[in-house]
Structure 1
Amino acid sequence: MSYAYLFKYIIIGDTGVGKSCLLLQFTDKRFQPVHDLTIGVEFGARMISIDNRQIKLQIWDTAGQESFRSITRSYYRGAAGALLVYDITRRETFNHLTRWLEEARQNANANMVILLVGNKLDLEHRRAVSYEEGAKFAEENGLIFLEASAKTAKNVEEAFVSTASKIYSNIENGICDPSNESYGIKVGVTSPPNNFSQYGQGGQNAQAKNGGCC
């Protein structure tokens, strides 16, 4: 299927915050309540439309365990966007955001768009991190921010699409050079406006098991 651009994403954050669940909800429109931990890296893809142009999102879901961090670091290179995820019911996952952000900025290109996601909004009654805390962290670090639920799909679409919109805007404004693949962007073959299929293929593995929610 033709597309105007391909954007490479990486999803990062602690084990168990719901990274794989967000990916599965976005690519396959489903929630899997029982999961294995991600081993290494998982892969998914989907087509979206921005400004009547097809954009292919190639999304790499990384393991949160320390033992896989060397693998994770290699996927920062050439990423156009990142979803940095924490669990609103587990304060320690929020406290670790600074470490994840430092690692991302050390290993990725300076123009990578980062969106902070407070996941598991469906567990509001168990909330340990306030919306205001998440918004403040995002503002202080120049991140886009929203809370989402991989289970109910609330704001999952918005998380991936708003990140893509910012990347697209950076291309239009000359901030990102789409001919330089270090920006995590590839130029494709443009299809006619309004002739697109919104959904693409998802749930393919890189070196991982299906399913994991970490």
Structure 2
Amino acid sequence: MASRRRMLLKVIILGDSGVGKTSLMNQYVNRKFSNQYKATIGADFLTKEIQFEDRLFTLQIWDTAGQERFQSLGVAFYRGADCCVLVYDVNVMKSFDNLNNWREEFLIQAGPSDPENFPFVVLGNKIDVDGGNSRVVRWPAYLLMLFGF
């Protein structure tokens, strides 16, 4: 029988503007995709309940603006995060190159108690664009270089 106790997990999605953070969140939570681009202003969040083994979890998924002008809002949104998802567009090398900046800025502003072991997930998005012909970031070589492996 599943435990009645629910655990809240705060997940932050970060990355450059236009990499598809909002689309990823909407696809995961609502199973909906839209081709219309609308920039996120500040931050927004959705929740999704999932069951893992015998526990219920509520994911509070925070979608943040990728524009530089909104990065000062980070402290308020990042505090208390349990995980950070770093998103890049596989067709735009700069979005990949900026992942370490997003990671470092998150660690500074969120101030996790154990930054060395804080969980990050890296997602390459938009692999379907142009049938994959415009892809410039290949897995895993660039990722390994990014994090110094």
Conserved in 1, the CA contact under 8 Å of 2:49 and 2:56? yes
Rounded Cα–Cα distance in structure 1 between residues aligned with 2:70 and 2:31: 27
Structure 1: tracts of 5 or more residues without a match = 142-214
Instruction: Map residues 116-195 of structure 1 onto 2, 5 A cutoff.
Output: 116-123=122-129, 124-137=132-145, 140=148
TM-score normalized with structure 2 length:
0.86
Give the direction of change, closer, same or farther, for the CA distance of 1:90–1:57 in structure 2 (3 Å limit).
same
User: Which contiguous aligned blocks of 4+ residues in structure 1 show a shift greater than 6 angstroms?
Assistant: none
Secondary structure of 2:60's counterpart equals strand
Question: What is the root-mean-square deviation of aligned Cα atoms in Å?
Answer: 1.7
Q: How far has the Cα of 1:4 moved from its partner?
A: 2.3
- Judged with a 3 Å threshold, the aligned counterparts in structure 2 of structure 1 residues 104 and 121 are, in CA distance, closer, same or farther, namely same
**How far is the alpha carbon of 1:100 from its aligned partner?**
0.8
Instruction: Indicate how the Cα distance of structure 1 residues 95 and 135 shifts in structure 2: closer, same or farther if over 3 A, else same.
Output: closer
CA contact (8 A) 1:63 1:72 kept: no
Q: What amino acid sits opposite 2:11 in the alignment?
A: Y
Alignment coverage as a number of residue pairs: 140
* Deviation readout 1:147-178 (Å, 9 max, x if unpaired): xxxxxxxxxxxxxxxxxxxxxxxxxxxxxxxx
Structure 2 gaps of 5+ residues are none
Q: 1:94 aligns to what?
A: 96
> Equivalents in 2 of 1:3, 1:120: separation in Å?
37
DSSP 3-state at the match of 2:88:
strand
Residue aligning to 2:47: 45
Residue 119 of structure 2 corresponds to which residue in structure 1?
113
**Percent of pairs identical after alignment?**
37
What per-residue deviation string (whole Å, max 9, x for no partner) do you get for residues 131-150 of structure 1?
12344146637xxxxxxxxx
Please identify, of 128-137 and 64-73, the stretch whose mean Cα deviation from structure 2 is larger: 128-137
* Richer in strand (by share): 2
Partner of 2:19: 17
Task: Output the CA distance in 2 between the equivalents of 1:65 and 1:90.
Answer: 16
Greater RCO, CA 8 A, separation 6+: 1
